[in-house]
Chain A
Amino acid sequence: MSIEQDEIEKIAELARIRVSDEQVGELTRRIGDILAMVDQLQAADTEGVAPMAHPLDATQRLRADAVTEENRREAFQAIAPAVENGLYLVPKVIE
């Protein structure tokens, strides 16, 4: 399956990755190559085969609903790009 440049632009928007106009052509070609390789899957007979999401077919374990973590807000905020009064700062969202 080939992929068009406008589809790459749409996916890049979904993935929140800015792609420059100079990059998009090359990116479309490379991703087209990868998808062409991946298309070999379509020839496989997978009728009735259950999809395998976990290599040991394990399911998620449950634990007791108890607080086990200590509050380390200061340590986590110390490595953030912009914080103020214990809050993470982002550009204004609501006008």
Chain B
Amino acid sequence: MHELTVAQLAKGLSDKTFSSAELTRALLGRIRELDGQYNSFISVDEAGASAAAEQADARLARGEGAALTGIPLAHKDIFCTDGLRTSCASKMLDNFVPPYDATVVRKFREAGAVVLGKTNMDEFAMGSSNETSFYGAVRNPWDTDRVPGGSSGGSAAAVAAGLAPAATGTDTGGSIRQPAALCGITGLKPTYGRVSRLGMIAFASSLDQGGPMARSAEDCALLLEAMAGHDPLDSTSADVPVENYSAALGDSLAGLRIGVPAEYFGEGLDAATGECIRAALREYEALGATLVEVNLPNTGLSIPAYYVIAPAEASTNLSRYDGVRYGYRCEDPEDLHDLYTRTRGEGFGEEVKRRILVGTYALSAGYYDAYYNKAQQARRLIAQDFAAAFEKVDLIAGPTAPGPAFRLGEKSDDPVAMYLEDVYTLAVNLAGLPGMSLPAGFVDGMPVGLQLVGRHFGEAKLLNAGHQFQLATDWHQRRPQTGGAN
């Protein structure tokens, strides 16, 4: 059961091959037995999951089931869950039990999905290796000496290891796509505003977007149908109708124009990874697509622009952690100033502090124009590159990450080297476009991801292209050796 996709599990539930209670029990058993190796969960909700599975079985028996009724999944520990600790992998929120559900969590509950628990991540989603978590690093199920990517590394590892068939993630600069690539699963970052951010703990509000992580594009389509939609409680949520993504999966790719940016195949790309991506592009040609050379000349600006904009927004968003209303508070504060500075000094980890300080600097008097304003101008140049390319092509394709998963500790001492991990993903967030990572091969036994980028609100075309690729290839069906029962 643990190797099946959401679509296959939904069929098994409707055929009564197994119940949600049986499925949930099996997965909770695997988590208990195996997650010591991966550390992919921060909290496991055995009681809540069992109760939700019983309710789902009753609903299915009444013939009132929806597409995801009875399907177990995991939420990244950045989504607030009513009554279930939501830590954002930070000491600051180690004791935080939200009094409400994120809109994404509520939508899955209403659909009858079963929440197994909350997955590990980089602290406040700041990282590309899942090593900045207060709860310890997550390990890649393909090789536990290697990182799973980040920041949604726990979600990616849990899905890859067969602990959950699907999970939610969030992506501010690559945090769904890069771990999906490094763990050999499928992950979709929707268009900015496609999925509500209410109750999704804020990192950089003009970039953050939640999305699905699963074993196939078909599953991502099912999950996105449940997650997406306008939310009056999120003023940046898009009032654009949600498409029937599943219905478009079977469309032919004949005549599809795929842009291949030279800038994504240059220096810095691991040669063997590049070969996997080129082979995937040839597969698309065999499916009837045409490859078109495109240029994204301002790609080089995306890392510096992102590392001004994201920290600037983070420094503002994280000012709310003050030790007064919820979360960590230092012991015996002398005065209000001591309460603030010591709570934040003790509650935040090193990478989070660095980013708050960089953001504070970029927004401070005398530096605003040189940094923040300049970065926002560069952001428009980057967005204009994509707009020009999309006049000629339907999708853009390239690598998700510059190479396969690296070893734990390999880059954790050098923030700037770590930032290069997101060189192909950051620009997509800056432009607000949807992007997806698909398993596209292996280098030395470690998975490689192909990134597809679509037009704004072009998720249906992305998922269609992903599904057709997965009908023709079996990279997404490869599973790591995990041991464990069933």
A contact set with B: CB distance below 8 Å:
3, 7-8, 11-20, 27, 30-31, 33-35, 37-42, 44, 46, 49-56, 58, 60-61, 63, 72, 75-76, 78-82, 88, 90-93
B48 in the interface (beta carbon within 8 A): no
Chain B nearest Cβ from A8, distance in angstroms: 7
Q: How far is the CA of A12 from the CA of B353 in the complex (A)?
A: 9
Of B147-155, B300-308, B442-450, B468-476, which binds chain A? B300-308
Sampled A-B contacts (26; CB under 8 Å): A11-B360, A14-B364, A16-B337, A17-B348, A38-B304, A38-B307, A38-B371, A40-B300, A40-B303, A42-B374, A49-B380, A51-B376, A51-B377, A52-B376, A52-B377, A53-B206, A53-B376, A55-B430, A72-B99, A78-B99, A79-B99, A79-B325, A80-B326, A81-B329, A91-B333, A93-B336
In the complex, the answer to whether B335 meets A50 with C-beta atoms within 8 Å is no
Given the known inter-chain contacts A15-B315, A17-B345, A41-B308, please indicate yes or no for A79 contacting B383, CB distance below 8 A. no
How many chain B residues touch A (Cβ–Cβ < 8 Å)? 76
**B324 adjacent to chain A (CB < 8 Å):** yes
List chain A residues, Cβ under 8 A from B378: 41, 44, 46
Q: How far is the CA of A81 from the CA of B327 in the complex (A)?
A: 7
> Nearest CB to that of B375 among chain A residues?
A41
* A17 proximity list for chain B (CB < 8 A): 341, 344-345, 348, 353, 356-357
Q: A73 to nearest B CB, angstroms?
A: 11
- B303: chain A residues at CB < 8 Å are 37, 40
CB < 8 Å A-B pair total: 172
Q: B259 at the A/B interface (Cβ < 8 Å)?
A: no
Chain B residues within 8 Å of A88, by CB: 324-325
Contacts of B334 in A (CB 8 A): 91
Among B97, B342, B361, which residue has the most Cβ atoms of chain A within 10 A? Answer: B361
Which chain A residues lie closer than 8 Å to B235 at the CB level? 60-61
Report B358-386 CB contacts with A as 1/0, cut-off 8 Å. Answer: 10111010000011011111111101000
Interface status of B269 (Cβ within 8 A of chain A): no
Taking a contact as CB atoms under 8 Å apart, the answer to whether B340 and A16 are in contact is yes
Q: Of the candidates B300, B324, B415, which one forms a contact with A30 in the assembled complex, judged by CB atoms under 8 Å apart?
A: B415
Q: Is the CB of A55 within 8 A of B344?
A: no
Q: Is the CB of B307 within 8 A of A92?
A: no
Chain B proximity of A83: nearest CB distance (Å): 9
The CA of A63 and the CA of B360, in the complex, are separated in Å by: 31
B339 at the interface (CB under 8 A from A): yes
Interface residues of B in 262-306 (CB under 8 A from A): 298, 300-301, 303-305
In the complex, the chain B residue whose C-beta lies closest to that of A77 is: B325
Q: Chain A: which residue is nearest B380 at the CB level?
A: A52
User: Which residue in chain A gives the minimum CB-CB distance to B372?
Assistant: A51
Interface residues of B in 411-441 (CB under 8 A from A): 414-416, 419, 429-433
- The answer to whether B344 touches A80 (Cβ under 8 A) is no
